[in-house]
Amino acid sequence: MEAERSAYRYDMVNVRPGYIVVEHEVQSKAMRAYFSPDPVAPIEEYREGNRTWKHTATAQSIRFSIRDARTGEVASFDELLGLAFYGSCPKGSEVWEIGDLAQEHKVSIYVAVTGEAADGTRGGLAVEKLRVLNRYFNERLRDREKKILILPDRFGLYREFSHGHIMVDLGLTAMD
């Protein structure tokens, strides 16, 4: 059967369900988050050198790639933990203030929050990938005046991860 032809230049492909696992280090209280594609979210405590990591929270989420139909290129977004909408951030925070100003002009601000690499370093989303992500969502908007603007995480939002500002399914059963 022939695959359905998309009306758009960009399409979301290779969508994989999984979990964002948030954990903390027992001594230093450092926190980090990563994506797990396992069928069951890992919650076991483990040692890494002289550091011990314990489970803090789990959220259901997805991993995906975006394919450019014009070039055939597929960009993977494995480093993306989630998107944070300005309106889900605390009122008075930098993101909220910028977002609230922009929303008056029908520009919706989101922040792309990335996770840590295996070596503990944190790289943002490459500008070219941000461009692709912005194009993907904007080309689907039906209101020509409306815009989605996804920014790099220059706000340190990854630290707020376990507070539910990021669009993942944290506390799904709590419904609060």
12 sits near other proteins (criterion: CB under 8 A):
yes
> In whole angstroms, how close is the CB of 157 to other proteins at the nearest point?
13
Per-residue x/- track, 37-76, other proteins (CB under 8 A)? -----------------------xxx-x------------
Largest CA distance in the chain: 57
Identify the residue among 1, 2, 3, 15 touching other proteins (CB under 8 A).
15
Choose one: 22-30, 69-77, 120-128, 136-144; the region binding other proteins (CB under 8 A): 136-144
Which window, 33-41, 44-52, 119-127, 167-175, contacts other proteins (CB under 8 A)? 167-175
Closer residue to other proteins in complex, CB, 53/151: 151
Site residues for other proteins per CB under 8 A: 12, 15, 17, 60-62, 64, 83-85, 87-88, 100, 103-104, 106, 108, 110, 137, 140-143, 146, 148, 164, 167-169, 172, 175-176
